[in-house]
């Protein structure tokens, strides 16, 4: 079987491919090697350039994760975890939550202001389901007010 492969006549495509590869090899051999850039003799190094703060102005900067105590998002529909609808133990509410992510913990806050920690959720779940932050607030009370609670 291998004898038949070796005895096989090369087809036109193989010959053309080999010819192009050979041309590429020859072209690379003819190309000069790049020379490092050298400053002309008698020139001095330039004076240091003053640094300019070209970053966004402080009013437009978004705080980093270590500057924010936590994040919140509204969750208007019922929250179903492990096939069970989560309800508030104090008032029985099962929808219209504020989900708070702080210090690697997830807390649920109902419209009445009752809070409960939800151990079945983690920060990765929060990040998957939350959108971009539309505002930042100085106090915790300003956040629920902004979200309509």
Residue with more model confidence, 21 or 138: 21
DSSP single-letter state for residue 80: E
Q: How confident is the model at residue 42 (pLDDT cuts 50, 70, 90)?
A: low
Q: Domain segments of the chain: what residues? A: 69-146
State residue 69's pLDDT score.
Answer: 85
Residue 79 structure tokens: 């929250």
State residue 64's pLDDT score.
Answer: 76
pLDDT at 47 over 80: no
Q: What is the DSSP string of 43-72?
A: PPPPPPPPP---SPPGGGPPPPGGG-S-EE
What whole-number distance in Å separates Cα of residue 97 and Cα of residue 78? 8
Residue with more model confidence, 131 or 107: 107
State residue 3's pLDDT score.
Answer: 64
Can you give the pTM of this predicted structure? Answer: 0.57
State residue 137's pLDDT score.
Answer: 84
Q: Please report, for residues 8, 13, 29, 45, 80, the alpha-carbon distance to residue 16 in angstroms, rounded to integers and kept in the order given.
A: 16, 5, 20, 53, 64
pLDDT at 105 over 60: yes
pLDDT at 1 over 60: no
pLDDT at 5 over 90: no
Q: How confident is the model at residue 89 (pLDDT cuts 50, 70, 90)?
A: very high
State residue 93's pLDDT score.
Answer: 93
Residue written as token pair 């508030």: 88
Residue 133 structure tokens: 């932050």
What whole-number distance in Å separates Cα of residue 91 and Cα of residue 4? 84
Question: What residues contact residue 70 under an 8 Å CB cut-off, 6+ apart?
Answer: 100, 101, 102, 103, 140
Ordered strands of the 71-75 beta sheet: 71-75, 97-102, 105-109, 115-117
pLDDT at 46 over 80: no
Residue 41 structure tokens: 């003799």
pLDDT in tens, 16-39: 889 999 999 998 888 887 777 776
């Amino acid at each position: 079987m291998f004898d038949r492969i070796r005895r096989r006549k090369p087809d036109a495509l193989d010959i053309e491919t080999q010819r192009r590869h050979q041309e590429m090899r020859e072209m690379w051999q003819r190309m000069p090697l790049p020379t490092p850039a050298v400053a002309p003799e008698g020139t001095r190094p330039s004076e240091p350039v003053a640094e300019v703060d070209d970053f966004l102005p402080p009013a437009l900067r978004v705080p980093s994760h270590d500057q924010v105590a936590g994040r919140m998002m509204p969750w208007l529909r019922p929250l179903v975890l492990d096939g069970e609808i989560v309800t508030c133990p104090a008032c029985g509410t099962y929808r219209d939550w504020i989900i708070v992510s702080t210090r690697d913990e997830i807390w649920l806050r109902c419209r009445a202001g009752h809070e409960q920690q939800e151990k079945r959720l983690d920060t990765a779940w929060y990040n998957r389901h939350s959108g971009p932050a539309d505002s930042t607030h100085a106090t915790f009370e300003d956040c629920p007010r902004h979200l309509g609670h």
